[in-house]
Amino acid sequence: MPNDRGGSVARRSRLPAPRPSVVALSGRPSRAEAEAAVRTLIRWAGDDPSREGLVDTPSRVVRAYEEFFAGYESEPAEILRRTFEETDGYDEMVVLKDIRFESHCEHHMVPILGKAHVAYIPNGRVVGLSKLNRVVDFFARRPQVQERLTMQIAEELKNVLKTDDVAVYIDARHMCVQARGVEHHGASTITAEYSGKFLNENTKQEFLMAINSKMPD
């Protein structure tokens, strides 16, 4: 896999990604139970959850988790439901780059901070550009591993746009690497999925050049 933007490259399995769907939770804990769990963790860390600075922390943490993991609240197809067929025959790649996202590592529940670059070649239909941002954000707002995040975005675009010609490239920093364990500050991880025409080396290089290009001053 080309590594034209620096960082380490995570190689993924060629097994097909599971169809993305909202996780059905049976017996989901109540807000009170979630807040009690946070108080338990505070006590486990060695502090007093009843002291002034921490007394409201459990409710704040639960509200934060609602934002962090909002990707379970709907289906991604709803985001991409409206497509447009009046493209006047446009059949070159559409690229949206530098989509900033924040996710959380499912192994340590610490942030993954990165950028996604997404491209597709229309097959008679296009989607509003802002919807591409929202699809990235939708899948990022779950406990994740970067390899799965890359595949979920690609598979959803292929399913909705009815095209195999999709590319997704993610460059991210993992706080589980930088803030704990080996503490390798500055290390980044790159994952990519290319399908359809993007498997052609010329098309892939055109995509990589596009996401590396800068706007003229």
- 196 with 164: CB under 8 angstroms? yes
pLDDT band for position 1 (cuts 50, 70, 90): very low
pLDDT digits 0-9 by tens, 102-119:
999 999 899 999 999 999
Residue by residue, DSSP assigns 116-161 as EEEEE--SS-EE-HHHHHHHHHHHHSSEE-HHHHHHHHHHHHHHHH
Q: Taking residues 85-106, report their average pLDDT.
A: 87
- 123 with 161: CB under 8 angstroms? yes
Check the CA dihedral 206-208-211-217 and report its sign.
Answer: negative
DSSP code of residue 69: T
pLDDT digits 0-9 by tens, 12-61:
444 444 444 444 455 789 999 999 999 999 999 999 999 999 999 999 99
117, 155, 174, 193: the active-site residue: 174
66, 108, 147, 206: the active-site residue: 108
- Return the higher-pLDDT residue of 190 and 179: 190
Residue 174 annotated as catalytic: yes
pLDDT of residue 2 exceeding 60 = no
Residue 178 annotated as catalytic: no
107, 184, 201, 205: the active-site residue: 107
CATH code 3.30.1130.10 region(s) in the chain: 83-212
106, 184, 201, 205: the active-site residue: 106
What mean pLDDT value characterizes the chain? 83
pLDDT band for position 209 (cuts 50, 70, 90): very high
User: Out of 65-69, 137-141, 177-181, 183-187, which region has the weakest mean confidence (pLDDT)?
Assistant: 177-181
CATH code 1.10.286.10 region(s) in the chain: 31-68
35, 104, 144, 146: the active-site residue: 146
CATH architecture of 31-68: Orthogonal Bundle (1.10)
CA atoms of 181 and 200, how far apart (whole Å) = 39
- 131 with 79: CB under 8 angstroms? yes
Residue 108 annotated as catalytic: yes
Give bridge partners of residue 117 from the DSSP assignment: 169
102, 147, 176, 206: the active-site residue: 176
The torsion of the CA quartet 168, 11, 213, 99, rounded to 10 degrees, works out to 40
The reply to whether CATH 3.30.70.270 applies to domain 83-212 is no
Residue 117 annotated as catalytic: no
Residue 104 annotated as catalytic: no
